[in-house]
Structure 1
Amino acid sequence: MDKTILIAGLAQLTADRLDRVRGRMETEGIGAVVVASPENVLYASGYESMGATINRRYAYAAIVTLADVLLVTPAADFAPAIDAGLKPDCVYPFGTFFFSGETSSAHSAMRHVSFDAAFAEALSRIAPTRTIVAEIAFLTGAALDALSRRGEKVVDASAWMLGLRGTKLPFEIALLKQTTRMTERAIEAGIAAAAVGVTDKEVAAVVASQMSLSGGLPRNVTVVGGLRSALADAMSTERPLERGDLLRFDVGCSFYGYKSDVARTAVIGEPTKLQASRYDALLAGLEAEIGMLKAGVRASDVFRKGVGVVEHHGLRPFRRQHIGHAIGMAVYEYPVITPDCEEKLLAGSTFCIETPYYEPGWGGMMVEDTGLITDDGFELFSSTDRSLRIVPD
């Protein structure tokens, strides 16, 4: 993606996401939205915290009103948040961290001892309202008590925000395409690096470095060979690859907050008849899923179709809890394609479609692709060869 287009697009996307949040607030008569998960803080405020990307229990929150965006955050985030576009008087830092100098980003004294104290002060800035939407699962007990003492109706923000994020804005789609293509190139580099005697970890290092070189932040790098290919989300090891090994890739990265999730399978040398037939069944199931995806189709119908086709092609029983999921700022968004999900797919939503198979003692294989639900079908973002890849031995 051209850097000029990227920079301008990201700036506009921050404004567009906030407009979408505030538009729904106005429609529903909501006075404030309080979010505290990394995905929702980024969506609502435009600030992506490095600390929050590596610590899921990171204590911070964004409070959105029709007039302001307030950020309650550790003091180390003070200057980065201002750099991201937040106003200095809208950032409520807590704890000990110092930024020297005389600029508006300087921070030379503790302002609040704890998240709860900073949150209470930020909340006092909010005028009384009828309803507050708050991400309850991510807030401390004291923060929730501060909300309840105000006397307003408090509605959980988790489903509210997922619904808002479900259909993607145009530049969100562009970012998801970009991160998917980064990941595909990384898997291709990993397949090219694989050989008898090369370890899983060495292949994984190639995959991760390629994503980094493309501008992505590696997130899930599952590269497992031999019998360990049957382990769903496992770390790579120092075991050298051998002739006949399956080599399974389930890989993703983050690009300005947007995630990828792509899977391919290779075999070292020519596949056995069983390996080839099982993979053919999985690929047929994936292609059947892709063929029926479009707006208005029920997730449960997609599940039954995919599983049925895999079994029709000889891999039975094919037991899965899901065979796809929405993706965006989180790898797993809503809905997930399960046998019980009666949600109708929406145009403008983005999905990963997959057919994995894991058999301890034999091996594992999978194929997974990403794309956009449209009124007429499924626009694939991923384009690399999805056949069972053969690594010359």
Structure 2
Amino acid sequence: MTVTHTLDELQKSTEGLSALCRQKFFGAAKELDAVITTDPAHVGYLSGYRSILQDVTLYAQAVIATPERLVLVTGASDAPAALERLSEPSAIWRYGLFYVSSAPGAKGYEEMPQHSASFSDALSAALCTFDMRGLRVGMDVRNASTAHGIQQSLSGASFVDPASAFRTSRATKLPGELHLMRHASRITDEAICGILPMIRPGTTELEIASEISRHMVRHGGIARFVVVTSGERSSRVDAYARHKVLQDGDLVRLDIGCTVEGYCSDMARTLCVGMPTDVQDSRYAALLAGEQAELAALRPGILAKDVYDIAMRTVRQGALPNYQRNHCGHGIGLHSHEFPLIGPESQTVLEPGMVFCVETPYYEIGWGGMMVEDTAIITDTGHELLTSSARALHQPSAIHP
């Protein structure tokens, strides 16, 4: 399996995506005239810009958007990178002091609004350029002080919680979003295929995690979680890889995800170092059967709770009759776990354009853990599988001499 298009082609295919996302959001939020968000995922969703600073510290950003206009409030050092996505300098409001020069004829700080001393000052200055008297404004702001400042700046507006509109807008994905998710899933799948020869005694968890991360980064992904746990450690949910050396008979549980332009992948496989025991084999067979039955059920019109019931019933017919699980999958998009959930109470009807991870994990402290997880897009007639690497517990390419 190989990446079938270049990163340049990927970028070209998704140009203008943020404008389409804004259009879709306001289509789902007909009661809103504007929205203000400080949520990093929604800043990226509406503007197309995702700051690396969000990965290293608590970082204040905001987007103010109407159907016709968008501005970004961000730190001064961030402005040149933001200008790559928001090609209009007047849309970027800076706070703080940072020095970046511009060559003759190049757009830069000089074309941007005057910088402010603080985030709140820059946000207030940007808000003053909007006339929102009598308008309904979505307030997607968790910080109480920031929300209070916005309300004071827009005293003539009424405020609405836009959470439902964001959830509705994000539940199904646009073609450009799906393109990014296909790429993210493909390079994650490839990364797992690439480490199969490393599943042998003497390899460490960290060596495997490093190779998985390398492949994803090389192909435009940002490694977000690389869970590689082996032996009894495979029961440790969402644990970091360690210098633990693989031994014959170990289970190796891989739960891997990256992002590409903000869009997530999430998949899992379990491998055995050498031949599995009868217990390992029978338990995994039950989990895999449940996950595959769940995957086969994905289609428009089915309830998410019914997909969950199919998975649970199938697993319990095998070697794990007392299997328990609070959910057997979840939506994926700007976050690796998002609405809708595939759970016992979920009344969500699956629709074309939704993207789901389906999974049937099992964890037993003192014994180990195993899981298989795949990602699929709901289509008009069924689903499109995004992760297709082999799911066998014992794979020939993992055999050690």
The TM-score bracket by the shorter chain reads: over 0.9
On the 8 A contact 2:276/2:394 being kept in 1, the answer is no
CA displacement, residues 180-205 of structure 1 (integer Å, 9 cap, x when unaligned): 11001101122222210111111111
What's the counterpart of residue 118 of structure 1?
A: 122
SS at match of 1:389: coil
On the 8 A contact 1:136/1:156 being kept in 2, the answer is no
CA displacement, residues 318-339 of structure 1 (integer Å, 9 cap, x when unaligned): 1111110101121111011111
Q: d(CA) in 2 for partners of 1:307 and 1:87?
A: 52
Q: d(CA) in 2 for partners of 1:189 and 1:94?
A: 44
2:191 aligned partner, one-letter code: A
Task: Quote how far apart the aligned CAs of 1:151 are.
Answer: 4.2
Q: d(CA) in 1 for partners of 2:56 and 2:286?
A: 38
What's the counterpart of residue 338 of structure 2?
A: 333
What's the counterpart of residue 148 of structure 1?
A: 151
What's the counterpart of residue 46 of structure 2?
A: 44
SS at match of 2:200: coil
Percent identity of paired positions between Structure 1 and Structure 2: 35
What's the counterpart of residue 371 of structure 2?
A: 366
Q: d(CA) in 2 for partners of 1:24 and 1:363?
A: 44
Moved more, 68-77 or 267-276: 68-77
On the 8 A contact 1:96/1:110 being kept in 2, the answer is no
CA displacement, residues 22-44 of structure 1 (integer Å, 9 cap, x when unaligned): 4445xx14221112222211111
Mapping for residues 167-316 of structure 1, pairs under 5 Å: 167-316=172-321
Moved more, 221-230 or 164-173: 164-173
Q: d(CA) in 1 for partners of 2:275 and 2:394?
A: 9
Moved more, 127-136 or 143-152: 143-152
1:112 aligned partner, one-letter code: S
Q: d(CA) in 1 for partners of 2:23 and 2:211?
A: 40
2:19 aligned partner, one-letter code: A
On the 8 A contact 1:181/1:382 being kept in 2, the answer is yes
CA displacement, residues 290-335 of structure 1 (integer Å, 9 cap, x when unaligned): 1211112111111111111101112131111111010112111101
Q: d(CA) in 2 for partners of 1:373 and 1:129?
A: 40
SS at match of 1:11: coil
Q: 1:345 to 1:235 in 2, by over 3 A?
A: same
What's the counterpart of residue 399 of structure 2?
A: 392
On the 8 A contact 2:184/2:263 being kept in 1, the answer is yes
What's the counterpart of residue 342 of structure 1?
A: 347
1:392 aligned partner, one-letter code: I
Q: d(CA) in 2 for partners of 1:7 and 1:261?
A: 21
1:89 aligned partner, one-letter code: S
Q: d(CA) in 2 for partners of 1:332 and 1:269?
A: 33
Structure 1 position 93 matched with structure 2 position 94: yes
Q: d(CA) in 2 for partners of 1:379 and 1:16?
A: 23
Runs of 4+ in 1 over 4 A off after TM superposition: 107-110
Q: Give the structure-1-normalised TM-score.
A: 0.94
Q: 1:307 to 1:54 in 2, by over 3 A?
A: farther
Task: Quote how far apart the aligned CAs of 1:3 are.
Answer: 4.6
What's the counterpart of residue 327 of structure 2?
A: 322
What's the counterpart of residue 66 of structure 1?
A: 67
Q: d(CA) in 2 for partners of 1:54 and 1:310?
A: 41
Structure 1 position 383 matched with structure 2 position 388: yes
CA displacement, residues 188-236 of structure 1 (integer Å, 9 cap, x when unaligned): 1222222101111111111111111222111110011110000110011
Q: d(CA) in 2 for partners of 1:189 and 1:157?
A: 42
The gaps in structure 1 that reach 5 residues or longer are none
1:232 aligned partner, one-letter code: V
Q: d(CA) in 1 for partners of 2:87 and 2:138?
A: 21
Q: 1:46 to 1:37 in 2, by over 3 A?
A: same
Moved more, 65-74 or 277-286: 65-74
Moved more, 237-246 or 63-72: 63-72
CA displacement, residues 255-293 of structure 1 (integer Å, 9 cap, x when unaligned): 111110010000001000000000000000001111211
The gaps in structure 2 that reach 5 residues or longer are none
SS at match of 1:316: coil
Q: d(CA) in 2 for partners of 1:101 and 1:290?
A: 53
On the 8 A contact 1:136/1:157 being kept in 2, the answer is no
Moved more, 241-250 or 165-174: 165-174
2:217 aligned partner, one-letter code: S
Q: Give the structure-2-normalised TM-score.
A: 0.92
CA displacement, residues 335-388 of structure 1 (integer Å, 9 cap, x when unaligned): 111112111122111011011111010000000000111232221111111121
Structure 1 position 10 matched with structure 2 position 14: yes
Q: d(CA) in 1 for partners of 2:146 and 2:74?
A: 13
1:40 aligned partner, one-letter code: H
On the 8 A contact 2:252/2:271 being kept in 1, the answer is yes
Report the aligned-residue RMSD. Answer: 1.9
Q: d(CA) in 2 for partners of 1:209 and 1:154?
A: 45
Q: d(CA) in 2 for partners of 1:109 and 1:344?
A: 46
Q: d(CA) in 1 for partners of 2:67 and 2:23?
A: 9
Q: 1:273 to 1:17 in 2, by over 3 A?
A: same
Q: 1:345 to 1:109 in 2, by over 3 A?
A: closer
Q: 1:133 aligns with which of 133, 138, 143?
A: 138
